[in-house]
């Protein structure tokens, strides 16, 4: 992505009202790697949190950009320099490109998009399928972030959902919700290998790759296990750990130093901390702020962990009612989404940030590995 385009994005940004704060103008309204973006799935909006203050500085109203009230924003990916963000819209069947100020810079159609994985070494953005898609195509999307064109790539898996890249971007890991298998896709080699996962049904929710590129972690929604694969041979991940944890381990994230793995347990309203030195549970963090943990993000220095919470009453039943996860499923208008902030030094909750209804996926600028 050219620096010229990023600079034009800065010049084009006008005054933007900041929720709970003054009008933010010019460069201050645009690229900032300290922003955390939260997809509010039942509010058709994206909350923008300044991680230096843990305040919502603006809310991007997708209906004001021409999208429907049922757009259902689900996940967010952010350029490493913070210049643009990308949001998958389940309900409107699209992936969109925005400036941090909330200006629309591109839209591409894609059936029931879900997870996003941005390759910082190229202009590629990969797109999986939403949990709401009961029988989607056995393909994922490959978007060129410069012109927002798209191709679809076959992965030969039912309900491809979990999605991550090797740190150099040369491999794409794609997990299935419907079978104990995942795909290892090599875009340059135009090759794909399917790998099986032994044991009980897993329902692979989301992957995370460690900062050193050695480990691949993925939560099993129905098994209640966090699976860890050795990536000594990245094209052939080898299962080395199957950690029993609280129900419904959701999105995992590694600490920047790779010493810990964090994830929310949606079926238990807790956050689990795993030591990567021996793959044991270091702590299970319980707090009244947790209400169906979903998305997760960590600050660049690793000092703060952010956990998004749906806070939608009855949004999942036994971990398998995926179509119901797209709607309110009984939640009232007063049940706002929330982001819980955790001090990773003390492993304690330090604050709660109210956002839009049904806080789902989150994203922030991540340093290039």
pLDDT of the residue at 5: 32
- pLDDT(260) > 90: yes
The phi-psi region of residue 318 (left if phi > 0; otherwise alpha if psi is between -120 and 50; otherwise beta) is: left
The structural domain count of the chain equals 1
| Beta strands 35-40; 45-50: pairing state | antiparallel
- The C-alpha atoms of residue 271 and residue 265 are separated, in whole angstroms, by 6
- Check: pTM over 0.85? Answer yes or no: yes
Radius of gyration of the chain (CA): 19
CA distances from 181 to 7, 160, 176, 260, 330 (A): 42, 10, 6, 25, 33
Residue 202 forms part of a structural domain = yes
> What's the rounded mean pLDDT across residues 164-168?
97
Residue 369 forms part of a structural domain = no
Using alpha carbons only, what angle is made at residue 92 by residues 90 and 96, rounded to the nearest 5 degrees?
85
148 Cα distance to chain centroid: 20
- pLDDT(1) > 70: no
Residue 244 forms part of a structural domain = yes
Query: Tell me: the pLDDT tens digits for 29-52?
Result: 444 558 999 999 999 999 999 999
Query: Tell me: the pLDDT tens digits for 196-232?
Result: 998 899 999 999 999 999 999 999 999 999 999 999 9
> What's the rounded mean pLDDT across residues 127-143?
94
Query: Tell me: the pLDDT tens digits for 137-148?
Result: 999 999 999 999
- The C-alpha atoms of residue 49 and residue 67 are separated, in whole angstroms, by 22
Q: Is 254 helix (H, G, I), strand (E, B) or coil?
A: strand
What CATH number should be reported for the domain holding residue 246? 2.130.10.10
At residue 22 the predicted structure's pLDDT band, cuts being 50, 70 and 90, is very low
Beta-carbon neighbour count of residue 198 at 10 Å?
8
Residue 237 forms part of a structural domain = yes
Query: Tell me: the pLDDT tens digits for 328-352?
Result: 443 445 689 999 999 999 999 999 9
Residue 15 forms part of a structural domain = yes
Residue 136 forms part of a structural domain = yes
Residue 34 forms part of a structural domain = yes
- pLDDT(63) > 90: yes
- Residue 328: phi, psi to the nearest 5? -80, -30
Instruction: Give the residue numbers spanning the domain of 282.
Output: 3-364
pLDDT of the residue at 2: 34
- pLDDT(305) > 80: yes
Residue 97 forms part of a structural domain = yes
């Amino acid at each position: 992505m050219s620096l010229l385009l990023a600079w034009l994005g800065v010049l084009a940004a006008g005054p933007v009202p900041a929720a709970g704060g003054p009008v933010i103008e010019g460069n201050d309204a645009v690229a900032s790697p300290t922003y955390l973006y939260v997809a509010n799935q039942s509010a058709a909006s994206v909350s923008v949190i300044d991680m230096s203050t843990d305040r919502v500085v603006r809310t991007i109203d997708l209906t004001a950009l021409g999208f429907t009230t049922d757009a259902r924003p689900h996940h967010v990916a952010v350029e490493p320099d913070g210049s643009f963000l990308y949001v998958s819209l389940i309900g409107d069947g699209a992936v969109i490109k925005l400036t941090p100020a909330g200006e629309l810079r591109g839209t591409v159609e894609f059936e029931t998009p879900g997870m996003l994985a941005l390759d910082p070494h190229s202009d590629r953005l990969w797109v999986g399928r939403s949990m709401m898609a009961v029988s989607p195509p056995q393909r994922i999307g490959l978007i060129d972030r410069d012109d927002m064109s798209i191709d679809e790539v076959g992965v030969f898996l039912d309900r491809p959902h979990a999605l991550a890249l090797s740190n150099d971007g040369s491999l794409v890991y794609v997990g299935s919700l419907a079978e104990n298998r995942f795909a290892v896709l090599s875009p340059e080699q135009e090759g794909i290998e399917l790998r099986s996962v032994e044991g009980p049904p897993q329902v692979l929710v989301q992957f995370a790759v460690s900062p050193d590129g050695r480990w691949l972690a993925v939560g099993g929604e129905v098994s209640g296990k966090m699976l860890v694969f050795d990536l000594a041979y990245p094209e052939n991940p080898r299962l080395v750990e199957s950690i029993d944890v609280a129900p419904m381990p959701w999105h995992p994230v590694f600490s920047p130093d790779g010493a810990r793995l964090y994830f929310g347990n949606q079926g238990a309203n807790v956050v689990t901390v795993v030591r990567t030195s021996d793959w044991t549970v270091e702590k299970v963090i319980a707090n009244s702020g947790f209400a169906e943990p979903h998305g997760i993000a960590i600050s660049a220095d690793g000092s703060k962990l952010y956990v998004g919470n749906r806070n939608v009453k009855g949004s999942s039943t036994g971990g398998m009612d995926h179509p119901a996860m797209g709607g309110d499923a009984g939640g009232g208008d007063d049940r706002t989404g929330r982001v819980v902030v955790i001090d990773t030094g003390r492993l304690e909750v330090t604050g709660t940030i109210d956002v839009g209804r049904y806080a789902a996926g989150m994203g922030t600028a991540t340093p290039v590995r």
